[in-house]
């Protein structure tokens, strides 16, 4: 996969700026990271958490992602980010959450085609000169028949990259991603595929089957196997020592930023829901992590995992996650 672009997907709550820094340092392999969505609003200010996401990305290729249904809020955020040195923002048109879609944002905008068109018209008319907008989209709300019209709409704009997650909103993350939709995806926009790529082999065959792709984006697969993108470039699988370093650096970073033992443990629980895929027989371990109430209980469980459990040769995210 010599020229393919390999992106790390945004996963709200997990791919924080702390995670991105630790991931790049220990495993690398991602040509770009994306922040979890930022929600600009009428206050014209980012929340503290959102500011953290965009202020700590020195020496890294990070694209901030925006979730909104207002061209005014989009443009405010784009100008702020441009002034901070960002040359691209990514527009979230895929989030399936009920609260988000209920407000007509994320995948909710795919239902409101006229509003989406007006928003894109207004955004592209007034962006800071030189700023790029990429789009991360699902292929429809209810059925994949919606995709051709949606693609026709996107084709009208100078979108810098189209990241396609071929599920409809109704799917959430269930069932298989509809990779075959790429067959009929005719566009001059550079396309990045995202969905259910969990192994280097699946990345390779996706890029082989669809040579028009500019690259791929991986989310849950990278959380289960943080070396996945490095392996896609011919590098080695994650070693036990690297996984330990990755865990310890992330846990200590969360401990420094959180007050009390529990918030850091909660962050690590979310990570372990996926990273446990790197180890064998983790049901008991996950139970202990869920029960851990303080640092020593948590680290005791982690110590035992690293001391006693085999690594999985082919780490996968747990089914249903």
CB 306 within 8 A of CB 240: yes
Q: Which residues contact 18 (CB under 8 A, 6 or more apart)?
A: 250, 253, 254, 257
Position among 20, 21, 32, 136 found at the interface with ligand FMN (CB under 6 A):
136
Contact call for residue 80 and ligand FMN (CB under 6 A): no
Residue range at the interface with ligand FMN (CB under 6 A); choices 152-160, 213-221, 287-295, 299-307: 213-221
Interatomic CA distance for residues 149 and 309, integer angstroms: 50
User: What's the min distance (Å) between Cβ of 71 and ligand FMN?
Assistant: 19
Give the one residue of 221, 226, 277, 315 binding ligand FMN; rule: CB under 6 A: 221
Q: Tell me how far apart the alpha carbons of residues 114 and 134 are, in angstroms, rounded to a whole number.
A: 19
Decide: 245 and 251 in contact? Cβ < 8 Å: no
Task: Give the N- to C-terminal CA distance of the chain in Å, as an integer.
Answer: 27
Q: By CB under 6 A, tell whether 195 contacts ligand FMN.
A: yes
**Rule CB under 6 A: is residue 200 a binding residue for ligand FMN?**
no
Closest CB to ligand FMN belongs to which residue? 219
Is 17 near ligand FMN (CB under 6 A)?
no
For position 36 contacting ligand FMN by CB under 6 A, the verdict is yes
**What is each CA distance from 15 to 48, 123, 144, in whole angstroms?**
16, 27, 29
Based on CB atoms, which residue is closest to ligand FMN, 9 or 81?
9
Q: How far is the CB of 138 from ligand FMN (least distance, A)?
A: 9
Instruction: Please say whether the beta carbons of 10 and 37 come within 8 A.
Output: yes
Of 160-179, which residues contact ligand FMN (CB under 6 A)? Answer: 165, 173
Q: Which stretch binds ligand FMN (CB under 6 A): 8-16, 107-115, 240-248, 259-267?
A: 8-16
Name the residue among 158, 85, 88, 87 with its Cα closest to residue 121.
158
Cα 47 to Cα 208: distance, rounded to the nearest angstrom = 42
| Sequence-ordered list of residues with C-beta below 8 angstroms from that of 283, at least 6 positions apart, any chain | none
**Residue 315 touches ligand FMN, criterion: CB under 6 A:** no
Residue 203 or 302: which CB sits closer to ligand FMN? 203
List interacting residues with ligand FMN (CB under 6 A).
Answer: 9-12, 36-37, 65, 92, 94-95, 136, 165, 173, 194-197, 218-221
């Amino acid at each position: 996969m010599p020229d393919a672009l390999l992106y790390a997907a945004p996963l709200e709550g997990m791919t924080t700026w702390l995670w991105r820094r630790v991931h790049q340092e220990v495993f690398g392999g991602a040509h770009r990271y994306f922040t979890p969505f930022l929600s600009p609003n009428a206050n014209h200010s980012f929340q503290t958490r959102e500011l953290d996401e965009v202020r700590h990305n020195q020496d890294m290729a990070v694209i901030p992602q925006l979730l909104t249904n207002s061209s005014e809020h989009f443009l405010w955020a784009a100008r702020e980010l441009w002034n901070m040195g960002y040359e691209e923002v990514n527009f979230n048109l895929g989030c399936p959450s009920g609260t988000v879609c209920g407000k007509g944002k994320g995948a909710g905008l795919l239902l409101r085609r006229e509003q989406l068109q007006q928003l894109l018209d207004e955004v592209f008319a007034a962006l800071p000169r030189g700023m790029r907008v990429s789009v991360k989209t699902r292929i429809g709300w209810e059925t994949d028949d919606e995709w051709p019209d949606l693609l026709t709409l996107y084709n009208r704009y100078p979108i810098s990259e189209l990241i396609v997650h071929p599920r409809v909103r109704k799917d959430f993350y269930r069932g298989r991603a509809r990779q075959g939709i790429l067959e009929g995806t005719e566009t001059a926009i550079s396309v990045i595929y995202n969905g259910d790529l969990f192994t280097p082999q699946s990345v390779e065959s996706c890029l082989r089957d669809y040579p028009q792709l500019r690259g791929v984006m991986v989310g849950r697969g990278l959380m289960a196997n943080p070396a996945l993108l490095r392996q896609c470039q011919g590098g080695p699988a994650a070693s036990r020592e690297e996984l330990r370093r990755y865990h310890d650096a992330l846990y200590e970073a969360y401990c420094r930023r959180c007050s009390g033992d529990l918030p850091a443990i909660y962050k690590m629980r979310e990570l372990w829901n996926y990273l446990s895929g790197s180890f064998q027989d983790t049901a008991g371990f996950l139970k202990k992590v869920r029960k851990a109430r303080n640092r020593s209980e948590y680290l005791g469980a982690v110590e035992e995992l690293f001391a006693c459990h085999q690594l999985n040769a082919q780490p996968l995210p747990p089914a249903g996650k």
